[in-house]
Amino acid sequence: DAGVIQSPRHEVTEMGQEVTLRCKPISGHDYLFWYRQTMMRGLELLIYFNNNVPIDDSGMPEDRFSAKMPNASFSTLKIQPSEPRDSAVYFCAAGSGDRNEQFFGPGTRLTVL
Amino acid sequence: GNSVTQMEGPVTLSEEAFLTINCTYTATGYPSLFWYVQYPGEGLQLLLKATKADDKGSNKGFEATYRKETTSFHLEKGSVQVSDSAVYFCALNGAGSYQLTFGKGTKLSVIP
């Protein structure tokens, strides 16, 4: 298995533009997590899904952020409109019913100018 | 709510030195405890875990013991290598929860 795949690895955009981050989780893992990492705030859980259904989105910072999981092999995190303070590394992670491990993707480094 | 506090870095050690990174937690019930490692430019990887009191997690020469009486899960390694240079995160998930709560991370640099 290739592990969790995220794209793009790097994204540079201008303030006000729409940004879409993509994640392909590990097959057979029914939990998917989106995290944001910054120097100031560390790792923050934004939202997580179980069997493609959003379970807890209390970490989503505001309405500009949205996430979807249309099927078990694909999820997106969208920011519209983007702002400079959204600059961060965004990670997707997969987990299973054995909740004692999450497998992280390599992350997407987002820079909003 | 749950929280994890780990020692602030950065930590700089010479090769073959002894490593301790302190981690304490606050949680209700009986959480599972983890150490994750993040190498430059990569995502986090599970290093070791412990699921109940007095359990010792170990991997790649690293160890940590789940101490419920002191609510701690300190990471140790007897002899560090340059390749251990990374950021180390202590984390927990509470009983019945699928969410991980992370500490701020401790950056370790090992010099030859």
Q: What is the dihedral of CA A58, A63, A68, A74, to 10 degrees?
A: -90
Going across the sheet that includes B62-65, the strands are B19-21, B75-77, B62-65, B56-59
Query: For chain B, what percent of residues have pLDDT higher than 70?
Result: 100
Closest-CA residue of B relative to A100 is B32
Q: What is the dihedral of CA B62, B55, B25, A55, to 10 degrees?
A: 100
Tell me which of A37 and B97 has the higher pLDDT.
A37
Residue B29: its pLDDT value, please?
A: 83
Residue B96 has pLDDT above 80, yes or no: no
Quote the mean pLDDT of chain B: 93
Considering only the beta carbons, identify the residue of B44, B93, B98 that sits closest to A104: B44
Which of A43, A44, A91, A98 is the best mutation test for B, with the most CBs of B within 10 A?
Answer: A43
Residue A87 has pLDDT above 80, yes or no: yes
Quote the mean pLDDT of chain A: 93
Residue A100: its pLDDT value, please?
A: 72
Residue B70: its pLDDT value, please?
A: 95
What are A44-86's pLDDT values in tens digits?
999 999 999 999 999 998 899 999 999 999 999 999 999 999 9
Q: Quickly list DSSP for chain A.
A: ----EEE-SEEEE-TT--EEEEEE--TT--EEEEEEEETTTEEEEEEEEETTEEEE-TT--STTEEEEEEETTEEEEEESS--GGG-EEEEEEEE-SSTT-EEE---EEEEE-
Q: Do A48 and B99 touch (CB under 8 A)?
A: yes
Nearest to A34 by CA among A95, A80, A90: A90
Residue B33 has pLDDT above 70, yes or no: yes
Split at pLDDT 50, 70, 90, the class of A17 is very high
Q: Do A95 and B98 touch (CB under 8 A)?
A: yes
Q: Is B99 on the interface with A (CB under 8 A)?
A: yes
List chain A residues with CB under 8 Å of B97. Answer: 99
